[in-house]
Structures are given as structure tokens and as C-alpha cells.
Chains A and B, each alone.
Chain A
Amino acid sequence: MNDFSVKSVLKKNVMTMALFGIYVLFVILAFLLKSTNMLEPSIVSSLIEQNAYVFVLGAGMLMCMLTGGNIDLSVGSVVCFVGAIVGLFSVENRIIHMPLSVPVVLLIAIGVGVAYGSLLGFLIAYVRIPPWIATLAGYLAFRGLGTQILTKASETNAISIPSTDALGELSDIFSGRLFETDWGEINIPCIIMGLIGIAVFAFLTISARRKKIVKGYQADPLWYVVTKLVLVSLVILFFTVEFSFDGGMPTVVLWILGVLILYGIVTEKTTIGRHFMTVGGNAEAARLSGINNKRVMFFAYFNMAILTVIAALIVTVRTGAANSFAGQEYELDAIAACIVGGVSAYGGAGTVIGMVVGATLIGVINQGMSLIGVDQNWIKIVKGLVLLAAVVFEIFSKNSKAKASKTKTQKEKTAELEDAIAKAQEELEKASDEALNEDPAVPSAENVVTTES
């Protein structure tokens, strides 16, 4: 079954190791250059809180990208728009004089997501507008709409949302700390939650393995399971200890975990996730296997809109204001997180864990360089290079894999030759124009993904 040699396991987790290495590097650099301790609780929790939206949006973007490398460019603008709507209805302003209660505001926000998601999904799946065009329209329109609302509602072009008074509820749902304690004081509930997390993870891992052994299936080797358990536990422990010294578990962590676990399960364990992957892997094969491609596309974008609303609420509450520049480049952050996290830009492959690693890696680079005092423009340059490097690495490792499989055995070699012949014959028979530019004797590595006509 799976190859569990140490080498292959390391190879599979190369991005995670890179993340760890870069984090340690920045911790050292920040300490040496600026005498800043990046491991300080407030810095660690701000790393998570600042990047919360990337995790949430990344999950949605992952689903879109799985369907064939499709992206949603409108999420940043929709974040701004939803923020404006929330501000408009929850705080007294020039348009609305009687603020609505928090549950009603939330319902409105979700309603916006449902409406936009349905429209976008319909346009992309059933009217067959290319996703990037449909969402580019959203990108432009919602930024304008959001700004317009804010300009009309407030002299300052922003609506501040106080975290106290009537709106405390809203803040409590999306921001703040669970069982908050004073800074520097150890927060016991946070530690307990962490320990429960570790226990649940350990129980699930061990019971899954036992089930496999009982049923006689091939189980992961013990060393692998133990190492994984220890490492994951250490990571959980690290964060809970850090959080516990910074007033407690940030509420947003629950949102992040909820979204990530849900989407992790959907992509890995359900038929729905399999349908998404298949549509991205080969749309025509998916269709002829009884999968409703259009429905899959619809839900990819519907789902993205709902997650965008959640991200908008998190961001708006955290910043305490609805701004016309809120959510700028969020779509690019989400896409970058997916790409760095190994999600295929052509669709059909990608994991939530990968996206999380990608998002965290970019977050760490952001935070680390800021702390060292690198100029914002330089940070952008570095992020661009990291994105490029991740894709180049991906392509190289894929190529070397293909090469490795070519040199395996004589049998497989002949097998590939047969393929080449088959392909050559097909091409000859068609004698289509593409044949002019291709050498049919070489089996093409990537396959042409035919889109439904």
C-alpha cells in the first residue's frame, strides 16, 4: 500500500518542515536583530488572529480550486461589502437611525451570502460564465457598493463597531477570549481544552488504527503513528500554553477549527469531496460516471460566499470597524495559501492540511519580517518569490516522480511504450492540427482536461 519509508514520509511533509524551519529561523533572527521574542504569547496569538480570515477563506478557495483550478476573485470585496452591511444595520448612522439587534444583523449577513452565493453559483455553473470573469465582476461591484454604503452612512467613510454595549454580543461571537483571564495569568480552561484536544486526537488515531488491524487491513506502521501523535500533541500544547498566558483561548480559534475540521472531513471522507476532486481531475469522466458537474460547480461558489460572510464577520469585529479598504487582497491571500499548500492549480488535488500549512507559512513570513523591521514592499517581494518557489518545487517534484516511475522496471517501460503507441495512433487518426506541434511518441504527462461543452 502506501510507502512508509522515512524518506517518503519526509518528502510528503516537506512543506510542513519548511514551515517549522522558517518559523525557527525567524524566532532566532527576531531575537538577535531586534531582541524581540516571537514566542511571546501575545505575538503567537496575534499570528493566529491576524490570519484567521486566510484559514476560513482558504477552505472555500480550496473547494473552488479542486473543481479545476477555479478561483474566486470577489471574496475581498464581498468581505468589505458584508462589513459595510453589518456596520450599517448594527450601529446608528446617517442612513439607519434605529440599529437592529445582533441576531437580526447576523441573519442579514448570512442572507447576503446566500443570495450572492446562489447568484454566483448559478452564473458559473448553469450560465457557464468563466469563474474568474464572474467573480471579477463581483470584485469590482462589491468594492464599489461597500464603499458607497460607507460613504453615505458616515462622514469618515467608516463605521466603527464598538465592542462594548449592545454590540458586545457580536464581539463575543467572533472575537475576544474564552473564559478570559488577566494577561500573564495562566488560563486553566484553555489548558484543559488543549488537553482534551490532544486526548480526542490520540483516541481517534489509535482507534482508527486498531479498527484496521482488527479487520485485517493494512495499518500505518507504529513508529509513524507514534511520531505523528507526539508531534501533533506538541503543537497543540504549544498553542494552548501560549494562549493560556495571553488571556485564554481566542474565540476565533474555535471558528477556525470548526471550519477546518468540517472541510477536512468533507474533502477527505465524503462522497461530496470526492465529487469535487473528480470534477477537477477529469470533468468529462466525472460527468459520464454520473456526477452532476453543474451542481458541484454551483456548490463550490455557494459555499465560498458563505465562508466569505464568516470571514467578513471575523475581520469586521476584530478591527472594530467597517472600512472601505477592508478585505483588500484577501482573495489573493487565500489563493496563495492554497498554492503554497500544494493545492493543484489545475484542480483535482489538494488538502485542507496543505492549505493550513500554506496559510501559516505566509503568515509567519509576514509576521517575522515585520518584527525584524523589513519594509512592507520587501515583504511583498518575498511573498511573491515564496509563491513562485512553491509552484516550481511542486512541478519539479512531480517531474522527478514521473522520471522515477519511468525507470522502474522493464515491464512498466513497455507499458508506457504501448501507451505512446496508442496515443500516437489516436493522434494520427484524428490528424488534427494539434498533431503538428506535438510529438505523439511522448506520452504527455498532464492530460488535457476536457471541459463540458
Chain B
Amino acid sequence: MAKVLLEMNSITKTFPGVKALDNVNLKVEEGEIHALVGENGAGKSTLMNVLSGIYPYGSYTGDIIYDGEVCMFHNIKDSEKKGIVIIHQELALIPYMTIGENMFLGNEQGSKWCIDWNKTYAEADKYLEMVGLTDSSKTLIKDIGTGKQQLVEIAKALAKHAKLLILDEPTSSLNETDSRALLDLMKKLKGEGMTMIIISHKLNEVSYVADKITVVRDGSTIETLDAATDDISETRIIKGMVGREITDRFPKRHDIVLGDVMMEVNDWTVYHPEFSERKVCDNVSINVRAGEVVGIYGLMGAGRTELAMSIFGRSYGIGISGELRLRGEPVTLRSPKAAIDAGLAYVTEDRKGNGLVLSNSILRNTTLANLNGVSSGTFIDKDKEYEVAKEYVEKLRTKTPSVEQLVGNLSGGNQQKVLLAKWMFANPDVLILDEPTRGIDVGAKYEIYCIINDLAKAGKSVIMISSELPEVIGMSDRIYIMNQAKIVGEMNASEATQENIMACIVGVSGDNSADGEGSEA
């Protein structure tokens, strides 16, 4: 048996009020590829951040034993000195610098005061060769594709004399050929003695490349599967990932009356605004009836938000094609304003980033999407505005001393209620809720669910985007499953289980991938 390179013992990391990691154990042997899998928010990234010193020693409990000694990393430099290098999901390369400059950023070659460019580029070329990249190290990053950029990231890590390489979703922005090349490179590096930890949502890739698979769920390590001895089929992994019960966390809706199809999207294709050849929505067709709650489930990056925003007045993406019908009539919505006027509302996923104006009061946020509703001409009737804001605060039971309170001072759940109030006041027929319960506590979640049910009862069409399986199953009448820019499944909530939803996702990624081995689902 190989030597154990890394051992993380009973790691517990608490953020104020919540345990992000609860007694996690992880053992990585030298020269293996160890995969970490789990749902969004399960704690994989937190664990890696603990390991790399982003969360410094002392902010967690438990021991990290690396290479035979207990480590106390205070920052990322400490861990890099030991040879632990993390490659983040979002590429951290600077587009207008050369490959060589990027590789030695913060690790400049030469004397303390003067960079030795000859040495820099010579070294860079050496590491580029190791990862099989033939481009010159003087090429600008912006001139090479994302696949090659990912290779540069790995070369950069190698240049730091990495012994343990952590790859966080390395293939999330790559196409299949590039992904495959990357995975093969990992195998090659393994042959040369490199130890690697890979975090991935793509289970077929995990089965293909990993020697061991550790499943993380709700902040705990559930099990570790060994490719040599255990069954590591995707269905087996999924079982570990979702083995959670759905309890009575969802208010039930009675006497569901479904009306006509309110909104219909056909053959909707959207391209990425920056990488114009990449499809973020590929031939998507969905519909929603009046009084219906439709769930869209997908992992992060599946294209759900992109779909919603492109429908909502083309506020995202380029080259949008497809047909949008509202109440049976085809419509073209060219701006968010047009979408709002047509009866659409999009409750954004990132309430702080693009949902609310945190420096403004509840009052101002509530009326923002429908200022005309409280104005005559251009003049705002401030008294009426006050009444409206107060009405919604009472209706949604937002906890606040007054409607003049700045939204930035509210809790996440209450902010979400203000965001909902804003769109409810715009009086839409179709509400698209993007992750409506993200980052809020259980009690507030329940209240949000009640609001959603009330909206449906009032005859509104609700599309709820979520990456929480229990929530999607518990709340929706019908569920679409989205993966890699496509709708890969549709089912009634009554038929839906966590397993068969996950199977839809895996099914597609299996079909798509070029590799035959490993994917059995």
C-alpha cells in the first residue's frame, strides 16, 4: 500500500450559525487521483479551502497531516510552499499577459528586484512541454482557447513544484475533446507520481479518472469508494450523493387548478456573450400553465439562469433564436422593460448582486420594477408608495422596524421577501424565480414556499429554478431537468425522485462523452 500523503482528521468548520463541515475525514495516498463529489453546497470547496489555507489554521478544528507532519497553514502561500496547489474553477489567468508571465505571477524568476525574462520563458517552456502544450510561452493568454488555458493553469501549478494538485471543476468550461485531453493529462501526471484531488460534478469523468471517490453530503464525508475494489458506477455515486430524506418541509397545495398554457418557449438557443461559439441554451423548449409551479433543476452551470435571463427581455446572451409565446401569442421582448410590460418577472438568483439596491430602503426597492404604479406622470406619489411598501411588508411578514430600513441591513430571508415583493407589485403573470431560497434559513424558506404557493393559487405561472433536489420535488407540479445547456428530462412531480432526476443528468453526460468505460448509467 502506498504512503498516505494527506490526512485530514475530523475537520469541522463553522461559519457563524452553521456547520459547513462536520467532522470530515479525508485520506489521500501518494500518487492517486482522489475525487470529491457532492451536490452544490455540500462542502467540497470549503474542505479544499481549509486544506489550502484560505481558511487559516485556527478557524477550523481538526488536524491536517501532510507528508507526515501536522500542518498549520495561515494562508495560501504556506500551503503552496509545501507543494499543495489549488486550481480554481474560474480561471485566474490575466488575458493580456503572456503564458510565461502568467505562470510565474507571484513567483517571479530572477533576483528580488529584477525579473529575469530569459529564465522565465525558458522555465515556462519546460513546464508547458510537460503538460503537452506546444504554444510558445510568449503567446498572450487571450489568444489561446479555454482548454489550453486550463493546461496553462496546470503548468503554472507544476512550476510551483506542486506535489498535491487540487483541481476544482477543471472541465466545467471545456468542451468534450479538451476535457478528455485534460483527464488524460491527469492520468499521465499520476504516472509521474503526482497526487491529485479533483472536484467535479461530471460523474462520468470522475469514474474515468479517479482511483478513489469520496462523497460529501451536507458537510460530512459519507463514504470513500475505491475504484479497485468497489463499484464506482455513476448510479452508485449518486446514491451516496442524494441519500437524504424529504421531510415535511414543503407546504402542500390543495385543489390545484391548472389553466391554459401561459408561457411557452420553443427551440430556444442562446450563445455565450463572450465565447460566442459556446451555447448556453441549446434548443430548449419549456412551457408553463396558469396556476402551475414548474421546477427547473440542474447543477450549477447547466444554463438555467442563462435561459431565464434570455427569456426575460434578452437580458443575457447573444444570438438568441427560438420562439416565445405568451398566452398563445408569439412575442418578441427586446428589453427587461418590454418583458415586464408583457407580464414577466425574473426574480434574480443573486439578490445582492443584481436583485436589490442595498443602499436603498425597502420602500424604494419594492416599487422599483413598477414605479408607474405609484406615480402620476413622472411624479411619484410618496404617500402611496409608502402604503404599497407597508402593505407588502405586512403581507409577506418581512421583519423590519420600518419600510425606510435600508435593505442592506436586512437578513437574507427578509431581503428575499423584499425582492419577491418588488416583483409581486409589478403584477406579472409569469414569475421566474431563480434560486429563491438560496442562503436563507429553514424558517424563512418555508415562508417563501408559502408565498410561491399563494402566487400559484392566484393563477400566476411560476417557474422555480433550483439546485436543491428536495425543494424542486417538494414544490413543483412539473419538473424540467437541465444539464449542459439542454433540457434532458421532464416529469411530473409525482413521478420524480432524487434518483431518477439525477439519472437524467447522468444519462446525458454519459451519452455526450466520448469515453465508453466508466459510464454505466
Instruction: Report B's interface with A, CB cutoff 8 A.
Output: 15-18, 20, 40-41, 45-46, 48-49, 54, 76, 88-90, 92, 168, 273, 300, 312-313, 315, 335-337, 339-341, 346, 348, 350, 352-360, 364, 368-369, 371-372, 375, 378-380, 382-383, 386-387, 399, 402-404, 408-415, 422, 438-441
Q: In the complex, which residues of chain A have a beta carbon less than 8 angstroms from the beta carbon of B422?
A: 289
Across the interface, do B399 and A411 meet the contact criterion of CB distance under 8 Å? Answer: yes
Chain A residue total in the interface (Cβ 8 A): 58
**Partner of A1 from B18, B273, B402 at Cβ < 8 Å:** B402
* Residue from the set A212, A288, A416 with the largest chain B CB neighbour count within 10 Å: A288
A269-282: CB near B (< 8 Å → 1, else 0) gives 11110100110011
A426 → chain B, closest Cβ, in Å? 7
What 1/0 mask marks residues of chain A from 402 to 425 whose CB sits below 8 Å from any chain B CB?
Answer: 000100000110111111111111
A441 with B360: CB separation less than 8 A: no
A290 to B273, CA, bound (A): 20
19 contacts across the A-B interface (CB closer than 8 A)? A217-B386, A277-B357, A277-B360, A278-B368, A282-B356, A285-B355, A285-B356, A287-B336, A288-B336, A290-B341, A344-B359, A348-B360, A424-B15, A425-B20, A425-B41, A425-B439, A428-B20, A430-B90, A447-B359
- Chain A residue, CB-CB nearest to B387: A217
Contact of A285 among B20, B273, B341, B357 (CB under 8 A): B357
CB pair A450 B440 closer than 8 Å: no
Given contacts A287-B315, A421-B17, A429-B300, contact A292 B411 (CB under 8 A): no
CA distance A415 to B411 in the complex (A): 4
Report whether B386 and A274 are in contact in the complex, using a CB–CB cutoff of 8 Å: no
Which 5 interchain pairs have the tightest Cβ spacing? A422-B439, A415-B411, A281-B357, A284-B354, A290-B337
A227 close to chain B: CB less than 8 A: no
A residues 188-217 in Cβ contact with B at 8 Å: 211-212, 215, 217
List the A side residues contacting B89 at CB < 8 Å. Answer: 430-432
CA distance A435 to B55 in the complex (A): 10
CB-nearest residue of chain B to A448: B353
**With A288-B336, A430-B89 in contact, is A272–B378 under 8 Å at CB?**
yes
B411 touches A428 (CB 8 A): no
Taken together as a complex, chains A and B put the C-alpha atoms of A282 and B351 apart, in Å, by: 11
Known: A217-B387, A281-B360. A269 touches B382 (CB 8 A): yes
Contact B315 A447 (CB under 8 A): no
Tell me which of A282, A436, A448 has the highest count of chain B C-beta atoms within 10 A of its own C-beta.
A282
The reply to whether A426 and B379 contact each other, CB–CB distance below 8 Å, is: no
Q: Say whether chain A's binding surface is mostly helix, strand, loop, or mixed.
A: helix
Given contacts A215-B383, A217-B383, A431-B168, contact A271 B371 (CB under 8 A): yes
Could you tell me the distance between the alpha carbons of A202 and B420 in the complex, rounded to whole angstroms? Answer: 40
B15 and A441 form a contact (CB under 8 A): yes
**Chain A contacts for B399, CB-based, 8 A:** 411, 415
In angstroms, Cα B46 to Cα A428, docked, is 6
Contact: B404 with A274, CB < 8 Å?
Answer: no
Could you say which residues of chain B place their CB within 8 Å of the CB of A382? none
Whether B17 and A405, one on each chain, are in contact in the complex, defined by CB atoms closer than 8 angstroms, is no
In the complex the two chains form, is B354's CB within 8 Å of A349's CB?
A: no
Instruction: Give the CA-CA distance A275 to B312 in the complex, in Å.
Output: 20
User: Which residue of A282, A416, A433, A448 is within 8 Å of B411 (Cβ)?
Assistant: A416
**In whole angstroms, what is the CA distance A422 to B404 when docked?**
24
Name the distance in Å between A352's Cβ and chain B's nearest Cβ.
16
A334 smallest CB distance to B (angstroms): 23
Whether A270 and B380, one on each chain, are in contact in the complex, defined by CB atoms closer than 8 angstroms, is yes
Answer yes or no: A2 CB below 8 A from chain B CBs.
yes
- Report B374 CB to chain A, min CB distance, Å: 9
Report Cα–Cα, A290/B369, bound state, in Å: 6
* CB contact between B346 and one of A274, A284, A288, A412 (< 8 Å): that residue: A288
Say whether, besides A287-B315, A422-B440, A433-B92, A269 and B380 are in contact (CB < 8 Å).
Answer: yes
| Chain A contacts for B357, CB-based, 8 A | 277-278, 281-282, 285-286, 348
Most buried by B among A272, A284, A349: A284
A453 near B: Cβ within 8 Å? yes
Q: Are A282 and B358 in contact (CB under 8 A)?
A: yes
CA separation between A435 and B18, bound complex, in Å?
19
Decide: B16 and A441 in contact? CB cutoff 8 A.
yes
B369 adjacent to A414 (CB under 8 Å) = no
Give the docked Cα–Cα distance between A1 and B439 (Å): 29
Interface-centre pick from A281, A414, A431, A436 (highest chain B CB count, 10 A): A431
On chain B, the residues within 8 Å of A349 by CB distance are: 359
With beta carbons under 8 angstroms apart, the residue of A270, A414, A436 that contacts B76 is: A436
Closest residue of chain B to A405, judged by CB? B409
Most B Cβ at <10 Å: residue of A281, A289, A291: A289
A289 B369 Cβ-Cβ under 8 A: yes
Please, how many angstroms separate the alpha-carbon atoms of A420 and B14 in the complex?
12
Taking the nearest CB of chain A, how far is it from the CB of B88, in angstroms?
5
The reply to whether B16 and A421 contact each other, CB–CB distance below 8 Å, is yes
Q: Which A residues touch B336, using CB under 8 A?
A: 287-290
Known: A282-B354, A421-B439, A448-B353. A415 touches B412 (CB 8 A): yes
The answer to whether B411 touches A412 (Cβ under 8 A) is yes
Question: How far apart are B132's CB and chain A's nearest CB, in angstroms?
Answer: 25
Q: Which of B45, B88, B371, B411 is within 8 Å of A274, CB to CB?
A: B371
CA distance A405 to B16 in the complex (A): 18
**Contact among B15, B90, B356 for A421, CB-based, below 8 A:** B15
Q: How far is the CB of A222 from chain B (nearest CB, A)?
A: 18
The 8 Å CB contact of A422, one of B359, B408, B438, is B438
Does the CB pair A423–B168 fall under 8 Å?
no
Contacts of A447 in B (CB 8 A): 352-353, 358-359, 408
C-alpha spacing A412/B411, complex, angstroms: 7
- Which residues on the B side are within 8 Å of A344 (C-beta)? 359
On whether the beta carbons of B411 and A429 are closer than 8 Å, the reply is no
A447–B387 alpha-carbon span in the complex (Å): 28
| B312 contact set on A, CB distance < 8 A | 288
B411 touches A270 (CB 8 A): no
* Given A278-B357, A281-B360, A426-B439, A417-B383 contact (CB < 8 Å): no
Question: What residues of chain A lie closer than 8 Å to B341, measured between beta carbons?
Answer: 290
Residue of B nearest to A347 (CB): B359
In whole Å, how far is B59's beta carbon from the nearest beta carbon of chain A?
8
Q: Please state if B315 and A288 are interface contacts (CB–CB under 8 Å).
A: yes
Shortest distance between the CB of A447 and any CB in chain B (Å): 5
Q: How far is the CA of A433 from the CA of B353 in the complex (A)?
A: 17
Write out, one digit per residue, whether chain A residues 326-368 have a CB within 8 A of any chain B CB (1) or not (0). 0000000000000000001000110000000000000000000
A284 and chain B: residue at smallest CB distance: B354
Residues of B within 8 Å of A433, CB to CB, are: 88, 90, 92
Chain B residues near A441 (CB, 8 Å)? 15-16
Residue of B nearest to A283 (CB): B354
The smallest C-beta distance from A453 to any residue of chain B, in angstroms, reads 7
Instruction: Knowing A348-B359, A431-B89 are in contact, say whether A292-B383 is a contact too (CB < 8 A).
Output: no
Q: How far is the CA of A288 from the CA of B336 in the complex (A)?
A: 6
In the complex, what distance in Å separates the CA atom of A290 from the CA atom of B334?
11
CA gap between A430 and B45 in the complex, in Å = 9
- A425 neighbours in B (Cβ, 8 Å): 20, 41, 438-439
Q: Which of A377-417 contact B (CB under 8 A)?
A: 405, 411-412, 414-417
Bound Cα distance from A441 to B49, whole angstroms: 13
Say whether, besides A428-B46, A429-B300, A278 and B440 are in contact (CB < 8 Å): no
Q: In the assembly, what is the distance between CA of A426 and CA of B49, in Å?
A: 13
Chain A nearest CB, measured from B413 CB (Å): 7
A270-B379, A282-B357, A289-B340 are known contacts; what are 13 more A-B pairs with Cβ within 8 Å?
A211-B383, A274-B380, A277-B364, A284-B354, A289-B368, A405-B409, A412-B409, A417-B15, A419-B411, A420-B15, A421-B18, A428-B20, A431-B48
Please, which residues of chain A bring their CB within 8 A of the CB of B378? 270-272
Q: A277-B360, A435-B54 are in contact. Are A428 and B348 (CB under 8 A)?
A: no
Knowing A290-B336, A431-B90, say if A414 contacts B17 (CB, 8 Å): yes
Given contacts A415-B414, A431-B168, contact A450 B369 (CB under 8 A): no
Contact between chains at A290 and B335 (CB < 8 Å): yes
